[in-house]
Structure 1
Amino acid sequence: MHVAILAGGRGVRLRPYTTALPKPLVPIGGEYAILDIILQQLSAQGFRRVTLAIGHLGSLIRAFVGDGARWGLTVRYAEEERPLSTIGPVLNFLDDLPEHFLVMNGDLLTDLDYASLLRTHICSDAPLTVATYQRRVNIDFGTLETVDGEIVTFREKPTLRYGVSMGVYAISRSTLARYPKNVPFGFDDLVHDLLARRQRPKAYPFDGYWLDIGRPDDYDEANETFAEIRPRLLPQVDLSCRPEVA
Structure 2
Amino acid sequence: MIGLVLAAGAGRRLRPYTDTLPKALVPIDPPTTVLDLTLANYAEVGLTDVAIVVGYAAAAVEERVPYFEDRYGVRLELVHNDKAETWNNAYSLWCARSLLSQGALLANGDTVHPASVQRTLLEARGDDRRIILALDTEKSLADEEMKVIWTADKGVSRITKLMDPADATGEYIGVTLIEPAAADDLAEALRKTWERDPNLYYEDGYQHLVDQGLRIDVAPIGSVDWVEIDNHDDLARAREIVCPS
Residue 124 of structure 1 aligns with an amino acid whose one-letter code is D
C-alpha separation between the residues in 1 aligned to 2:242 and 2:19?
23
- Identify the match of residue 109 of structure 1 among 103, 109, 112: 112
Q: How does 1:85-164 map to 2 (within 5 A)?
A: 85-111=88-114, 112-121=116-125, 123-134=126-137, 135-137=139-141, 162=168, 163-164=170-171
2:204 maps to what in 1? Answer: 189
CA contact (8 A) 1:3 1:50 kept: yes
C-alpha separation between the residues in 1 aligned to 2:36 and 2:106?
17
2:186 maps to what in 1? Answer: 176
CA contact (8 A) 2:135 2:219 kept: yes
Q: Deviations over 1:184-228 (max 9, x none)?
A: 463232122122112231011112121111111010122244322
1:209 maps to what in 2? Answer: 225
Residue 78 of structure 1 aligns with an amino acid whose one-letter code is V
CA contact (8 A) 1:6 1:52 kept: yes
Q: Deviations over 1:15-59 (max 9, x none)?
A: 233222211111112341221121112112100111100000010
2:75 maps to what in 1? Answer: 74
Greater Rg, structure 1 or structure 2? Answer: 1
C-alpha separation between the residues in 2 aligned to 1:131 and 1:8?
21
Q: Deviations over 1:57-90 (max 9, x none)?
A: 0100111123724311110011111135323233
Deviation at 1:108, TM superposition (A): 1.4
CA gap of 1:70–1:11, structure 2 versus 1, over 3 A, is: same
CA contact (8 A) 2:226 2:238 kept: no
Residue 215 of structure 1 aligns with an amino acid whose one-letter code is N
Matched, 1:57 2:57: yes
C-alpha separation between the residues in 2 aligned to 1:224 and 1:86?
27
Unaligned runs of 5+ in 1: 140-158, 230-246
1:35 maps to what in 2? Answer: 35
Q: Which moved more, 1:63-72 or 1:188-197?
A: 63-72
Deviation at 1:137, TM superposition (A): 4.6
CA gap of 1:161–1:219, structure 2 versus 1, over 3 A, is: farther
Q: Which has the higher contact order (CA 8 A, sep 6+)?
A: 1
Unaligned runs of 5+ in 2: 144-164
Deviation at 1:161, TM superposition (A): 9.0
C-alpha separation between the residues in 1 aligned to 2:72 and 2:101?
21
1:226 maps to what in 2? Answer: 242
Give TM-score, length-normalised by structure 1. Answer: 0.74
Residue 2 of structure 1 aligns with an amino acid whose one-letter code is I
CA contact (8 A) 1:48 1:72 kept: yes
1:8 maps to what in 2? Answer: 8
Which structure dedicates a bigger proportion of its chain to strand?
1
Residue 173 of structure 1 aligns with an amino acid whose one-letter code is A
CA gap of 1:191–1:225, structure 2 versus 1, over 3 A, is: closer
C-alpha separation between the residues in 2 aligned to 1:18 and 1:176?
30
Deviation at 1:160, TM superposition (A): 6.5
**Number of residue pairs aligned between Structure 1 and Structure 2:** 209
Which structure dedicates a bigger proportion of its chain to helix?
2
Q: Could you say what secondary structure the match of 1:37 adopts?
A: helix
- Identify the match of residue 173 of structure 2 among 166, 173, 191: 166
Matched residues, percent identical? 26
Q: Which moved more, 1:19-28 or 1:64-73?
A: 64-73
